[in-house]
Structure 1
Amino acid sequence: MSSNRRIGIIDIGSNSIRLVIYEINSLQAYRVIGEFKQSARLSQRINSDNTLSREDIQSIVAILKQFQRICTANQVEEIRAAATAAIRNAANSQQIISELQEYSGIRVELLSGEDEARIGFLGMIHSLDIPDGILIDIGGGSTEVSLFRQRKLVRSVSFPFGAVNTTRRFSADGDFSEEKLLSIRQMVREAIGGERWITEHPGLPMIGLGGTIRSLCKINQKKHKYSLPLTHNYPMSAEDMAELMSWLPSLPAEKRKKVDGLSKDRFDIIVPGLTILDTLFKESGCSHYVISGAGLRDGLFQEAYLTDNSAIGMSMPERSARNMLALHSCSPMAHLEQVASSALTLFDALQQTHGYDARARQCLHIAALLYRIGVSMTYYQFSKHSFYMIAHSRLDGLTHRETVLCAAIASYKAKSRVQQLYAQFKDVLLETDIDVIVKLGSLLQLAIAMDSSETQVLPVRSAAVTLDKELDITVQTQNDPSIEYKEIAALNKDFKKIWGLKLTLLDASSFSTN
């Protein structure tokens, strides 16, 4: 095996038991290389005396042993396992933890409700660029609610109800009458009554973790035929969720199995989960929903294994892009850094012309760093691969629109292609984004041309728009820049058409070239 390090994270939840395998390379870049899941429904297995039987404990042991074999096959060096509400709330929780370790050989941490909220928040806050909000994690046996302000955790509470144990309490067959739904709402309202801070911050977004809200997101995306298959950072309006709240409970349990986007192992527990979510949303006065694809397992990994401080000071999208680059090395970093630097210099010089904001500048920066990422697939037609890889990767801190913008700018060739992309992603992009992509794509193409040889022979010193409608770019030639001059000359006509400006190079060294 290479110097890459592999870590297994096991989450023993109340609904399912999951294994995620992470790989960390020598550059401290990381990725998920495998996910495995077994349904457990532990919250439904708790006996009348609030204990988990020896037989049920052994069923967990069997899953842990299976996961251990998977880890061995994948050359995993370390395993971190954690148990949540179902085991935490069991009267024999310490016996369960002891027997799991004795019979599986895996040490299992028993997370408190406070731990679960904190670690879930840690996973979310490292992947979403949201300053303030209410965080909701609806699991099988508990619901964690947290308030965060200025990206800091302020308050949190763990309620002893989730999608699985609420189903068990209120419905044996997965069907829910209006009376049962009202009872679930009353249960949630009574719990909130002891935590009034939940209702004292109206207008914040509600950030959702866990299988319940991810499933609701997928149903919504399927219904609207959403063009981008990403759930992370997907926004949902109060109206969208209210529509699901009026529709899903009205379906018989058997019909719910056929709902597009809803996995068959959730057909019976989705309605209680949705009702808990909807009640919390209304009582807290939140503005809208945002789905987080990162949560407890991400937090468990980050807390224990991410110790690299080199990304301090970077924006979240840049950190995520550089992580992606370190996983798919395909071009000299000196070249990518120069292309990014030149592109941003051009963007700033043209600020009065284009009027784009700092987020657009950030998209150009990310596109410049990742424009050659597709070479890791194959060099030929790499821009198509770059588009796919960028558009379908989780670039933390970017909205879905910004993710597609980055992919389109990085792979820009001609306006006709941009119009085709807009037609494909009409539900994600704005019509005005056609112009944004063309303009910023042309700037990136110029920045790439200025280091065509990838040897940094033509660094940009400055750029400015003149009264004569020229873009004067001051460079300092080093060695032979003939390849660069040829590529720049080929772009001059299109650049003038797009920007209404003539390109002029001013050489700050011993001679000048136009």
Structure 2
Amino acid sequence: MHNNRRIGIVDIGSNSIRLVIYELNPQQAYRVIGEFKKSARLSQRIGTDNILHAPDIRDIVIILNQFKLICQAHQVTEIRAAATAAIRNAVNAQEIIDQLVRDSGIFVELLSGQDEALVGFLGMSNSLDIEDGILVDIGGGSTEVSVFRNSKLEQSVSFPFGAVNTTKRFSPNGIFSEELLKNIRLMVVNAIAEEPWIGQNPDLPLIGMGGTIRSLCKISQKRRKYSLPLTHNYKIDTDEMDMLMKWLPSLSAEKRKKVDGLSKDRHDIIVPGIIILETIFQAARCSHYVISGAGLRDGLFREKYLSSLTNDSHSILEQSTNNLLGLHSTAPSEHLAQVARHAVALFDALQDTHKYDARMRLCLHTSSLLYRIGVSMNYYQFAKHSFYLIAHSRLDGLSHREILLCACIASYKTKGRVHQIYNQYPDILLESDVDMITKLGTLLQLAVALDASETQAIPVISAKSDGGQLSIRAETQIDHSAERKEVDEIQKDFMKAWTMKFSFQTNQISNQ
């Protein structure tokens, strides 16, 4: 802990006020170690005079002081706090900020609508491998819509309506008639008409951020009995969203409270939120919905504390893999890099046999780097711990299926075990994945065997497949008896998986 920084990010939103505590180690690897939320509904507290009055400001101060105590308990040394639409749109915005700073001792930034869109994009774009899309962040008091191309933000707008203030305006009692729903939709349509660029980028995915789409994601996953509890990069098609759009407004407020996956404090604001979301989707002529688990708070953290990584040339997946390694790896980095090189060399040599695409090559490479991270939990039976860490950590840049494939390949032991895992995730994995995992898992085992001593005794291999046999050749300058023994023991499993044998020849060269 002594060499790690702990940083608190406070998001004073229109619906809730949140504190996220990040831990950042000297390798620039980070993780969330705490998250705290207080419901505030600031957009509902602002009266017709558009002023947030003293008692409501004091309530925010109380929450900020509670968060300060939490930060002290967690040995947080730095706090970054930002306020968004509810305070931004208040007539007395600067007075509010001044009082918050004075009475809490926490410096609070007031984000403009453009700032909010930019920071949210920063959080999303460094965690989803999507180059072109429409980004929609529905908060309590505003909705930011942005278009990005080639991973660059091109245009954005902040609309002054969100899930909370729209509920307050149209249905404070939580009852939504057809007429009210039409009025909400008309409000959004009229706002979009002032920003014609929104409709000029058809067939792009809508990337959703914020509580509304996270709630819809959880409802969808509960209804589908989705087997992997990951929100980030979850996809919802138009048919399912249309069903939710018709179903949720038809329920009474009491019945919405009982919807599996929907928190009780969102039962009233989910309907305006989904109307706003679906209206933008239709106007932008998007293809499908993708949920981003990263957003404003991630952007605030990344912008200030990970700026060097933000400008890194490494891909999102490489950054995410390196982050997991920085948190969990107990293996020498030279060994992991060697295993990864050998694994992809074997993959390439067998390309005409397996015909797997570049994404599977990427999965094998990633699995090779992460196969040992389970040791951070327990060396004995570390493979099962590696599986859990890979499957349930944020491995950005991969689909949910690809994450499971990586977890299975990295932890591969037997085909029977792969069948067991497939039976746990039949809604995500394909039946044909069982054979693919077995083949690629065996390749990883062979690559590990080729550096069994973890000394890079066999620095480079050349491999080719010819006449139903894989030939592996290598030159070495040092003792490689450990590698020879382990490679020989893989022969039987390799034959079962690939229905072919391999030969392994080495040439001992002088180190003079």
Q: Secondary structure at the match of 1:476?
A: strand
Residues 1:206 and 1:310: Cα distance change in structure 2 (over 3 Å): closer
Residues 1:311 and 1:200: Cα distance change in structure 2 (over 3 Å): closer
2:243 alignment partner in structure 1: 243
1:223 alignment partner in structure 2: 223
Contact 1:460 1:473 in 2 (8 A): no
Aligned positions of 1:356-375 closer than 5 A: 356-375=356-375
1:262 alignment partner in structure 2: 262
Report how many aligned residue pairs link the two structures: 510
Cα distance per residue 1:125-184 (max 9 Å; x no partner)? 000000100000000000000000111001100000000000000112111111110000
Contact 2:302 2:310 in 1 (8 A): no
1:414 CA drift (Å): 1.1
Letter in 2 for 1:483: A
Q: Secondary structure at the match of 2:456?
A: coil
Q: Secondary structure at the match of 2:476?
A: coil
2:197 alignment partner in structure 1: 197
- 2:505 matched to 1:503? no
Letter in 1 for 2:476: T
Cα distance per residue 1:328-350 (max 9 Å; x no partner)? 13111111111111101111111
Output the CA distance in 2 between the equivalents of 1:414 and 1:310: 39
Contact 1:28 1:308 in 2 (8 A): no
2:8 alignment partner in structure 1: 8
Letter in 2 for 1:186: L
1:376 alignment partner in structure 2: 376
1:454 CA drift (Å): 1.6
Letter in 2 for 1:508: N
2:427 alignment partner in structure 1: 427
Output the CA distance in 1 between the equivalents of 2:121 and 2:303: 11
1:130 alignment partner in structure 2: 130
Q: Which of 446-455 and 290-299 deviates more?
A: 446-455
- 2:326 matched to 1:323? no
Output the CA distance in 1 between the equivalents of 2:317 and 2:174: 42
Contact 1:311 1:319 in 2 (8 A): no
Letter in 1 for 2:430: L
1:390 alignment partner in structure 2: 390
1:481 alignment partner in structure 2: 480
Output the CA distance in 2 between the equivalents of 1:319 and 1:462: 29
Aligned positions of 1:276-291 closer than 5 A: 276-291=276-291
Letter in 2 for 1:231: T
Letter in 2 for 1:167: T
**TM-score (norm. length: structure 1):** 0.97
1:51 alignment partner in structure 2: 51
1:460 alignment partner in structure 2: 460
1:308 alignment partner in structure 2: 308
1:493 CA drift (Å): 1.6
Q: Which of 38-47 and 315-324 deviates more?
A: 315-324
Output the CA distance in 1 between the equivalents of 2:349 and 2:329: 31
Output the CA distance in 2 between the equivalents of 1:427 and 1:185: 34
Output the CA distance in 2 between the equivalents of 1:309 and 1:186: 42
1:142 alignment partner in structure 2: 142
1:477 CA drift (Å): 2.8
Letter in 2 for 1:245: M
After TM superposition, the runs of 4+ consecutive aligned structure 1 residues lying more than 4 A away are none
Output the CA distance in 1 between the equivalents of 2:375 and 2:141: 46
Q: Secondary structure at the match of 1:47?
A: coil
1:39 alignment partner in structure 2: 39
1:310 CA drift (Å): 10
1:344 alignment partner in structure 2: 344
Contact 1:395 1:403 in 2 (8 A): yes
2:115 alignment partner in structure 1: 115
1:120 CA drift (Å): 0.3
Output the CA distance in 2 between the equivalents of 1:180 and 1:276: 13
Letter in 2 for 1:20: V
1:311 CA drift (Å): 8.3
Contact 1:457 1:479 in 2 (8 A): yes
Letter in 1 for 2:25: N
- 2:157 matched to 1:157? yes
Residues 1:311 and 1:482: Cα distance change in structure 2 (over 3 Å): farther
2:409 alignment partner in structure 1: 409
Contact 1:181 1:275 in 2 (8 A): yes
Q: Which of 146-155 and 447-456 deviates more?
A: 447-456
**TM-score (norm. length: structure 2):** 0.98
Letter in 2 for 1:160: P
1:429 CA drift (Å): 1.1
Output the CA distance in 1 between the equivalents of 2:232 and 2:356: 26
Q: Secondary structure at the match of 1:56?
A: helix
Contact 1:218 1:262 in 2 (8 A): yes
Cα distance per residue 1:170-228 (max 9 Å; x no partner)? 11211111111000000000000100111111111000000000000000000000000
2:87 alignment partner in structure 1: 87
2:447 alignment partner in structure 1: 447
Cα distance per residue 1:428-464 (max 9 Å; x no partner)? 1122211221111110010011112222222332111
2:297 alignment partner in structure 1: 297
Letter in 2 for 1:476: E
**Which consecutive residues of structure 1, in runs of 5 or more, have no partner in the other structure?**
none
Contact 1:257 1:264 in 2 (8 A): yes
Q: Secondary structure at the match of 1:256?
A: helix
Q: Secondary structure at the match of 1:308?
A: helix
**Which consecutive residues of structure 2, in runs of 5 or more, have no partner in the other structure?**
none
Output the CA distance in 2 between the equivalents of 1:325 and 1:311: 20
Letter in 2 for 1:200: Q
Output the CA distance in 2 between the equivalents of 1:175 and 1:416: 53
Output the CA distance in 1 between the equivalents of 2:186 and 2:394: 38
Output the CA distance in 1 between the equivalents of 2:222 and 2:382: 30
1:478 CA drift (Å): 3.8
1:481 CA drift (Å): 1.9
- 2:83 matched to 1:61? no
Cα distance per residue 1:460-482 (max 9 Å; x no partner)? 32111123x22111122343222
Q: Identity of aligned pairs, percent?
A: 66
1:419 CA drift (Å): 1.3
1:309 CA drift (Å): 4.7
Output the CA distance in 2 between the equivalents of 1:179 and 1:313: 51
Aligned positions of 1:167-178 closer than 5 A: 167-178=167-178
Output the CA distance in 1 between the equivalents of 2:429 and 2:299: 31
2:469 alignment partner in structure 1: 470
Q: Which of 215-224 and 353-362 deviates more?
A: 353-362
Q: Secondary structure at the match of 1:435?
A: helix
Output the CA distance in 1 between the equivalents of 2:33 and 2:482: 40
1:510 CA drift (Å): 4.0
Residues 1:309 and 1:267: Cα distance change in structure 2 (over 3 Å): closer
1:356 CA drift (Å): 1.1
2:209 alignment partner in structure 1: 209
Letter in 2 for 1:235: K
Residues 1:118 and 1:311: Cα distance change in structure 2 (over 3 Å): closer
Output the CA distance in 1 between the equivalents of 2:434 and 2:84: 47
Residues 1:294 and 1:309: Cα distance change in structure 2 (over 3 Å): closer
Residues 1:282 and 1:309: Cα distance change in structure 2 (over 3 Å): closer
Letter in 2 for 1:405: L
